[in-house]
């Protein structure tokens, strides 16, 4: 019964891991660098975008994510984990690959989206799985105190890209913002305005450059309350 | 398809073992597996995989895919253990698969909670993680009841001493066969929360 150690296992010793610190996230050039081009081609991102996704495999690969983003993709308002359910797959792929490459700084998430954890194909599968989940409607909202100001700002500066109803644009990699958690929208908006979200679109930075925190709160609150009319969801 | 082959293998064994709980992926022979366990594993892990020693893990009910992966990685030293290495060197690939399928078919015994006062904290960490520290909920991968799946091990009812030892090994980089996921989590989670979650895991219903 007990045979000698098989050659297979001897070979496998070559694969033993001696990797870097778990928390060491890379830092790639972003909006602070001269010559920054938003959403420029990237081999991993482009391969994921080209992959024909498998939603069932995406559900399995998503297990790694659901300890924070929840099994229904609704995220957590209190922990500022964004809602992902129903988000455009292109947006999800771009953001995952930006975190992975260090264009978007997220040291908490980085160890869970590294290439040693999820393959390019799995990133695409996860994105497709999340995209077809129903959008969670009980997202966190703001105070509701300045919604009229929020609407004015949104319609003037945001709707041309993110859509009248906050539906975003899959082709353009513009995220769905309707039903997103207020706390997440506000936190990211501040970071984008202040140059701390290094994968931001410079066009957006120009739009909100002069926004006060109060205005960012008002527009984030307004966005968090947007709803998509039936039939407007893009596939 | 694989499942039916496994059932067929179990039926050939002709024993009154719970064949249906074995993995759908790993194909093994329950009768041979029982013999391997009785000869090689029994002293530390118990004849049915319910280890009597808190330092050594319970294997009863563990997913065969996970158990087999660990055995293979002890052999390759991808998972380093001075205790397990010489033992698995005496096992063939078939022995490993058979033992993994046998232990998967066994009924886990209830866990032993040492400090019930920690259970509430443990429950919170297990189900919600620690967002400030970037720790995901354990339940995300290991399931709300800690029963795991083919990719993530069953935890329910495990000895707290063993869980703590593994968390320490992940945290200080002695155990590295985890795609760095548990290394990240263990290094972010504080000592009290780690202890609490080990107690909570012990309290989780061990039966399948």
Given a cut of 90, is residue B2 above it in pLDDT?
A: no
Tally of domains in chain B: 2
- Cα separation, B69 vs A114, in Å, equals 21
- Cα separation, B141 vs B137, in Å, equals 8
What would the pLDDT profile of B10-67 be if each residue is shown by its tens digit? 333 333 333 333 445 799 999 999 999 999 999 999 999 999 999 999 999 999 999 9
Do B82 and B132 sit in the same domain of this protein? no
Do B97 and B130 sit in the same domain of this protein? no
Q: How far does CA A76 lie from the centroid of its chain?
A: 14
Point out the domain boundary residue: B104, B135, B168: B104
**Which residues of B, range 98-127, sit inside 8 Å of A by Cβ?**
none
What would the pLDDT profile of B131-172 be if each residue is shown by its tens digit? 999 999 999 999 999 999 999 999 999 999 999 999 999 999
Do B97 and B185 sit in the same domain of this protein? no
Q: Is A22 on the interface with B (CB under 8 A)?
A: yes
Q: What is the pTM of this model?
A: 0.88
Mean pLDDT across A148-168: 98
Point out the domain boundary residue: B83, B104, B125: B104
What would the pLDDT profile of A88-145 be if each residue is shown by its tens digit? 999 999 999 999 999 999 999 999 999 999 999 999 999 999 999 999 999 999 999 9
pLDDT of residue A6: 43
Do B90 and B152 sit in the same domain of this protein? no
Q: Is A7 on the interface with B (CB under 8 A)?
A: no
Non-local (6+) Cβ contacts of B51 within 8 A are: B44, B45, B57, B58, B59, B159, B162
pLDDT of residue A4: 43
Q: What is the ipTM of this complex?
A: 0.86
Point out the domain boundary residue: A131, A157, A184: A131
Q: What is the mean pLDDT of chain A?
A: 91
Using an 8 Å Cβ cutoff, are B144 and A94 in contact? no
Task: Say whether A60 and B32 touch across the interface (CB within 8 A).
Answer: no
Query: Residues of A with CB below 8 A from B152's CB?
Result: 63
Mean pLDDT across A192-202: 98
Point out the domain boundary residue: B63, B79, B104: B104
Point out the domain boundary residue: A131, A159, A177: A131
Tally of domains in chain A: 2
pLDDT of residue B24: 54
**Which residues of B, range 35-64, sit inside 8 Å of A by Cβ?**
35-36, 39-40
Q: Is B55 marked within a binding site? A: no
Point out the domain boundary residue: A131, A166, A181: A131
Using an 8 Å Cβ cutoff, are A227 and A160 in contact? no
In a domain, B111, yes or no: no
Mean pLDDT across B178-189: 97
Nearest Cβ partner for A1 among B77, B95, B140: B95
Do A111 and A169 sit in the same domain of this protein? no
Nearest Cβ partner for A67 among B35, B40, B141: B141
What would the pLDDT profile of A47-64 be if each residue is shown by its tens digit? 999 999 999 999 999 999
Task: Say whether A5 and B75 touch across the interface (CB within 8 A).
Answer: yes
Do B100 and B124 sit in the same domain of this protein? no
Do A109 and A184 sit in the same domain of this protein? no
- CATH number, domain with residue B31: 1.10.760.10
Query: Residues of A with CB below 8 A from B32's CB?
Result: 1
Find the domain containing B145 and state its range.
116-203
- Cα separation, A122 vs A61, in Å, equals 6
Find the domain containing A169 and state its range.
147-224
């Amino acid at each position: 019964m007990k045979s000698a150690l098989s050659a297979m296992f001897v070979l496998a010793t070559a694969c033993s891991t001696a990797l870097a610190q778990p928390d060491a996230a890379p830092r790639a050039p972003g909006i602070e660098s001269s010559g920054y081009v938003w959403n420029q081609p990237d081999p991993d991102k482009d391969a994921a975008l080209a992959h024909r996704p498998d939603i069932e495999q995406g559900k399995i690969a998503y297990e790694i994510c659901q300890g924070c983003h929840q099994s229904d993709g609704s995220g957590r308002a209190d922990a500022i984990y964004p809602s992902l359910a129903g988000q455009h797959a292109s947006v999800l792929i771009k953001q995952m690959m930006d975190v992975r490459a260090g264009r978007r700084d997220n040291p908490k998430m980085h160890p869970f989206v590294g290439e040693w954890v999820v393959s390019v194909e799995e990133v695409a599968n996860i994105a497709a799985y999340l995209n077809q989940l129903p959008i969670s409607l009980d997202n966190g909202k703001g105070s509701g105190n300045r919604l009229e100001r929020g609407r004015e700002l949104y319609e003037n500066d945001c709707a041309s890209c993110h859509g009248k109803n906050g539906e975003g644009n899959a082709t353009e990699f513009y995220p769905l913002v309707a039903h997103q958690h207020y706390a997440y929208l506000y936190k990211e908006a501040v970071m984008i305005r202040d140059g701390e979200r290094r994968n931001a679109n410079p066009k957006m930075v120009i739009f909100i450059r002069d926004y006060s925190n109060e205005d960012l709160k008002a527009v984030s609150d307004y966005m968090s309350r947007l709803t998509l009319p039936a039939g407007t969801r893009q596939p | 398809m694989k499942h039916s082959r496994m059932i067929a293998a179990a039926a050939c064994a002709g024993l009154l073992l719970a064949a249906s709980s074995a993995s759908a992926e790993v194909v093994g022979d329950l009768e041979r597996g029982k013999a391997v366990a009785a000869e090689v594993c029994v002293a530390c892990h118990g004849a049915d995989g319910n280890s009597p020693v808190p330092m050594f893990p319970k294997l009863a009910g563990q997913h065969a895919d996970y158990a087999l992966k660990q055995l293979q990685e002890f052999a390759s030293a991808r998972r380093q253990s001075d205790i397990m290495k010489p033992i698995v060197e005496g096992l063939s690939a078939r022995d490993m698969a058979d033992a993994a399928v046998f232990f998967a078919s066994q009924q886990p015994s209830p866990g032993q909670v040492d400090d019930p006062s920690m259970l509430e904290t443990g429950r919170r960490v297990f189900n919600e993680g620690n967002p400030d520290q970037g720790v995901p909920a354990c339940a995300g991968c290991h399931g709300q009841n800690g029963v795991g799946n083919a990719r993530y091990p069953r935890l329910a009812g495990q000895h707290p001493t063993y869980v703590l030892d593994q968390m320490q090994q992940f945290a200080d980089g002695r155990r590295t066969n985890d795609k760095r996921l548990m290394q990240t989590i263990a290094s972010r989670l504080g000592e009290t929360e780690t202890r609490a979650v080990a107690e909570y895991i012990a309290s989780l219903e061990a039966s399948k």
